[in-house]
Structure 1
């Protein structure tokens, strides 16, 4: 049977679509569709009626209308992947509650569709000095601008991720929360600001969201039990895998001012899988000498037990200060809480000062031992002291190897951080632990951190340009090793820089071999201390401006990895200047060109 437009209420285009679809349907599919259309007709056509062909058919029988679910949109803005993973977990739990969930990165979401959304969850981190993450910039600009729609019918909730050691803590989440309210939205539950130890606070927020959404159950059906999402591994951020160190090698030559370690970790038994662009999170331990000095200054013996989380789990204080609590960084919230136990007028004066720069100058490069010595004695029990501390955050290191090439191990590139400040030597918690206190045969507690914002192009023939001075070169070793494993020989150009050619050319033999074999097409290097004038990667970009622009015009993806505060900014400005110069564009057109590249996933940054 074939429909004709002359004897039906459908136009010619609709008739053509129906005639192509109906013959392919089974009887069960036809019955299901009949039931769905019956439900859509009887439910009405009001603006608040929401129907979804994907809404759970479990619990319906042929000819019976599927239940209608409430729609929820979850948008995430994430630089390192934490926000994305929290958003995915929120989706899983809400679908288990019977909701139909649309999950999207702010980067790919069509902002103009926001006016049709009735329930919205925003999960967003703050990057740098109060800035949105790269994949949230365009959406943030739209929402803050004059074109943002009125959202009087919107219910929303915001989960903000940040680091309280920065002045503009959770600033992006705060801005989203305020703006959604200004546009007429109503909060489902108050915004929660999460510090680097975000797991418990994020769980509490999601529980509040689910509870408040379930109070209005008129459209919500009881969902059938959901299958758990397939997990590649039983190990995770909250349950790290203890990976054996196979190799721990210094990459720098004798006489270098740097110490860069190449670590190879065994993944045997972990179940971990990863892709180029992902990171490994390491939970480090504080230096025992620093812990002992802090205990001595506080006059605690370290054997007393203290709570380490909201569940009430306990550890001896010395072990907690070594393995659980952060003691090498001072934040304003921690300083404010400690001030309550101090009789020193200096700390109260510092906190009450209207000069934020004075407070920031004190906090910079100081640790808890400095605070205890500067503002003690502290009249606090060990339990009270421990209660104000943050947990040690995991340190993320870009993976420098390919799973396709070496699935049973993962390689990292770690620069040991050492410096003097305020009359004392200082050391990076994780980097110096790896450099000095961890040997082959020892283990490190690790997890895999996905980073979908820093991926090789989906099409293998897409040219790539990689900029990564110092340890910023690590993910590109993963990229090229992956290309070798897959036999990819499309154009690939690497810009690398460090201090000295003879001592600091990280992975030199690997790059030379890949150049010879065709997996790396071109490499330009900048060694800043080898000449009279300092030369950096952005200078090499300018030297090859014409060719670089030609690569961009041919669709190349451009990657930047490394220091955010200086290098990434300089590379960004240089790239804009090259586009303006070589493309004969205005500054505004150059910025629009780069913005379009970003929206096409052709300008990707992993900066820190």
Structure 2
């Protein structure tokens, strides 16, 4: 029997940052999975003792392998990176997979074969889990990389002006630092697999050849345990029964906001507070008819695209994206109509005008303003596939069992003389009790409650951004967490738009919510928003943060999240007697540590 030397725990203890990272990595694991981690760690320790090193390396050199790093805000980049890692393992290639905030930046100089899968969020920003790595690579401290071979896959949404800009910037910067590409930059729109699948095939082939040239034998390298999963997934959604569909704003409210409860009984789906529910939408039938009328097409016409033949009405209603504008459709419309104005707005120097177009109009508006002669097959090809919508979950399974709750703002408004709708929100609003909806769980590992229930939390969630904090408060109540909970909530009017008012009042009474600060922007001539409440409560807010509180933000990325971020910097600078630059750096550290988490869209 081999003897195992018991290490000196005091000498081997981890610093606070590594402990926090380890705790986040193990959150949500089952007992069986934790035992597996323990056994795997013990085996690594034995190997390290035998080799005299805590890392599988020789003379400070990184072993020949492929390193896959992902930065993901909504889960797509993570999913694609995991698929690539599994395919690499199946092909016998040595590979390691890391989330960007877990990647040791000092190892970049030693890296030989690096793949980065990264999304772009909001107005051209990196995902929160990749912000530190992105800034390191883009900054002055980045090392020269003459021996690096790399490939970058950027994910984005062409409904936003800065499509895949983070992937482009990383690709260019790695080349600037001396690296050479073994696969061209990939840029994937919401139909991720259409680009990711062939890109991954090319990448694997190139890495296989490079490792073969380096003399690295192919072998199966099991990197992690694979937990048991539900058979229901993004590709095979569960048909969830609607248990409740209730309007939770007053009749005279300017917006229709719904509280929707769905049954997950029998699905095998599991979620944690902070996760999202994916909903596969269908386009409103009335909008489909608007399209058919505008184009003078027969909805029963059979159209073939990519070896599938469907009625045009079915293509428009269930298969293609017709509520969100995006660059490829505008380019196709510009070509079909011959309209020079549309062509001009696509040019880089008119980025502001292009962004304004995306923010205001739906595709139907452009069809009306820019008449064109379309062939049905050309129209279907020009439209993106219909993609699922993600909603922050508004419930804790500890409180509601095999249910999942949502808070949904229904998109339904008049513009340019006609009605406009959202795809998923219209479907959700129109589905009565006992109706069924196709759903799946999208985990959000970066938006989790602290494992230490004694830690205080600060939650900032205006409008429907309050949804995950309903889940947080439920979870902390049910688990008996002793930490304090502070909620900042804002909306337009107190009397008509105070979402979950009765629940928050009850939570204050029973002690599961300790503080509640409100901002209703339309109830006074001077509009008041949550960021102003943050500044007003700055002294106490700063005290909570200095004492170790976690802070969470959920909601609109284009304005609210940016304004809240600026307010937090102001609070830290003012009450911490620091310069704005130091305050910004400290807030960035909280983001990297997971103490500052954002679920923004």
TM-score by length of 2: 0.86
Shift of 1:123: 0.7
Shift of 1:226: 10
User: Is the CA contact (8 Å cut-off) linking 1:307 and 1:387 kept in structure 2?
Assistant: no
Q: Does 1:281 align with 2:275?
A: no
What residue in structure 2 maps to residue 233 of structure 1? 230
Deviation per CA, 1:60-111: give whole Å up to 9, x if none. Answer: xxxxxxxxxx422111111122212222222222122223332222223221
What residue in structure 2 maps to residue 336 of structure 1? 331
For 2:245, what is the secondary structure of its paired residue?
strand
Q: Does 1:595 align with 2:588?
A: yes
User: Is the CA contact (8 Å cut-off) linking 1:96 and 1:226 kept in structure 2?
Assistant: no
In structure 2, the CA distance between the partners of 1:361 and 1:536, relative to structure 1 (3 Å rule), is closer
What residue in structure 1 maps to residue 292 of structure 2? 295
What residue in structure 1 maps to residue 261 of structure 2? 264
1:360-439 aligned within 5 A: 360-378=355-373, 380-435=374-429, 437-439=430-432
Shift of 1:200: 2.7
Q: Which moved more, 1:569-578 or 1:335-344?
A: 335-344
Task: For structure 1, list consecutive stretches of 5 or more residues without a partner in the other structure.
Answer: 4-12, 18-24, 38-43, 51-69
Determine which of 125, 133, 139 is the counterpart of 1:131: 125
State the superposition RMSD in angstroms. Answer: 3.0
What residue in structure 1 maps to residue 492 of structure 2? 499
Determine which of 52, 59, 79 is the counterpart of 1:85: 79
Q: Does 1:160 align with 2:157?
A: no
Once residues 404 and 383 of structure 2 are traced to their aligned partners in structure 1, the CA distance between those partners, rounded to angstroms, is 32
Deviation per CA, 1:142-175: give whole Å up to 9, x if none. Answer: 1112221111111111110111122221000001
For 2:144, what is the secondary structure of its paired residue?
coil
1:172-183 aligned within 5 A: 172-183=166-177
1:184-583 aligned within 5 A: 184-216=178-210, 217=212, 218-223=215-220, 229-307=226-304, 312-343=307-338, 347-348=342-343, 355-378=350-373, 380-435=374-429, 437-583=430-576
In structure 2, the CA distance between the partners of 1:599 and 1:418, relative to structure 1 (3 Å rule), is same
Once residues 174 and 47 of structure 2 are traced to their aligned partners in structure 1, the CA distance between those partners, rounded to angstroms, is 37
Once residues 578 and 349 of structure 1 are traced to their aligned partners in structure 2, the CA distance between those partners, rounded to angstroms, is 43
Shift of 1:238: 1.6
In structure 2, the CA distance between the partners of 1:448 and 1:532, relative to structure 1 (3 Å rule), is same
User: Is the CA contact (8 Å cut-off) linking 1:159 and 1:194 kept in structure 2?
Assistant: yes
Task: For structure 2, list consecutive stretches of 5 or more residues without a partner in the other structure.
Answer: 13-38, 52-56
1:35-46 aligned within 5 A: none
| Larger gyration radius, structure 1 or structure 2 | 1
Once residues 536 and 339 of structure 2 are traced to their aligned partners in structure 1, the CA distance between those partners, rounded to angstroms, is 57
For 2:205, what is the secondary structure of its paired residue?
helix
In structure 2, the CA distance between the partners of 1:444 and 1:576, relative to structure 1 (3 Å rule), is same
Shift of 1:491: 1.0
Deviation per CA, 1:475-500: give whole Å up to 9, x if none. Answer: 00111111122111311111111222
Shift of 1:206: 1.4
User: Is the CA contact (8 Å cut-off) linking 1:366 and 1:422 kept in structure 2?
Assistant: no
Once residues 369 and 307 of structure 1 are traced to their aligned partners in structure 2, the CA distance between those partners, rounded to angstroms, is 22
Once residues 347 and 561 of structure 2 are traced to their aligned partners in structure 1, the CA distance between those partners, rounded to angstroms, is 35
Once residues 443 and 585 of structure 2 are traced to their aligned partners in structure 1, the CA distance between those partners, rounded to angstroms, is 29
In structure 2, the CA distance between the partners of 1:546 and 1:47, relative to structure 1 (3 Å rule), is closer
In structure 2, the CA distance between the partners of 1:351 and 1:100, relative to structure 1 (3 Å rule), is closer
In structure 2, the CA distance between the partners of 1:461 and 1:48, relative to structure 1 (3 Å rule), is closer
Deviation per CA, 1:268-297: give whole Å up to 9, x if none. Answer: 222110111100111111111221221233
Deviation per CA, 1:486-540: give whole Å up to 9, x if none. Answer: 1113111111112222222211222222222222222122222333433222222
For 1:393, what is the secondary structure of its paired residue?
coil
What residue in structure 1 maps to residue 597 of structure 2? 604
For 1:174, what is the secondary structure of its paired residue?
helix
Once residues 86 and 348 of structure 1 are traced to their aligned partners in structure 2, the CA distance between those partners, rounded to angstroms, is 33
In structure 2, the CA distance between the partners of 1:451 and 1:210, relative to structure 1 (3 Å rule), is same
In structure 2, the CA distance between the partners of 1:564 and 1:377, relative to structure 1 (3 Å rule), is closer
Aligned residues: 558
In structure 2, the CA distance between the partners of 1:536 and 1:102, relative to structure 1 (3 Å rule), is same
Q: Which moved more, 1:522-531 or 1:138-147?
A: 522-531
1:7-18 aligned within 5 A: none
Once residues 595 and 202 of structure 2 are traced to their aligned partners in structure 1, the CA distance between those partners, rounded to angstroms, is 38
For 1:420, what is the secondary structure of its paired residue?
strand
For 1:494, what is the secondary structure of its paired residue?
strand
Once residues 127 and 541 of structure 2 are traced to their aligned partners in structure 1, the CA distance between those partners, rounded to angstroms, is 26
For 1:340, what is the secondary structure of its paired residue?
helix
What residue in structure 2 maps to residue 121 of structure 1? 115
In structure 2, the CA distance between the partners of 1:541 and 1:2, relative to structure 1 (3 Å rule), is closer
For 1:405, what is the secondary structure of its paired residue?
helix
TM-score by length of 1: 0.85
What residue in structure 1 maps to residue 23 of structure 2? none
